[in-house]
Amino acid sequence: MTGQAATLARGAHAMTVRHFWLIPAMSTHLIYGPCKARYDERCLAVYEDAGFVGQDADQAAATVLIFVIGAAQGEAAESAWRAGLRRAGADEEQQLRETIAHSPRRQSAPVEPAGSPS
């Protein structure tokens, strides 16, 4: 079961990063079709084989999927950002360096270690 559940989770993570538009779409649209139906059925079968019954199997599958989507969110946001830069013809790496250089954290005064003389 562990291997099958992990394989499903890794696949969901890769799909979420590849189709980064899914994260915002999930909050406003029902995302369902033949592929999602197959995925859901496979997940339920894996968790039922592991001993989950009825709603518990559904809740276990949903919990793992939501965790995976949350874990993929940062990577998906970066993918979307990079895609926008490519469409604009911008240099991704240069833009990243400029963004980091102008981040508020980089511009703030250095923090002195606790107990150091002022």
The reported pLDDT for the residue numbered 40 is 93
Q: Nearest 10 degrees: CA dihedral of 104, 110, 115, 117? A: -140
End-to-end CA distance of the chain: 57
pLDDT at residue 39 greater than cutoff 90? yes
Q: What angle do CA 31, 35, 40 make, to 5 degrees?
A: 75
The stretch 88-103 carries a mean pLDDT of 85
The reported pLDDT for the residue numbered 5 is 93
Binned at pLDDT 50, 70 and 90, residue 14 comes out as very high
Cβ atoms of residues 100 and 106 within 8 Å: yes
The stretch 6-17 carries a mean pLDDT of 93
Categorise residue 110: left if φ over 0, alpha if ψ from -120 to 50, beta otherwise. beta
- How much is the pTM? 0.67
Q: Where are the domains of the chain?
A: 2-91
The reported pLDDT for the residue numbered 85 is 87
Cβ atoms of residues 86 and 78 within 8 Å: no
The stretch 3-19 carries a mean pLDDT of 92
Mean pLDDT over each residue of the chain, to the nearest integer: 86
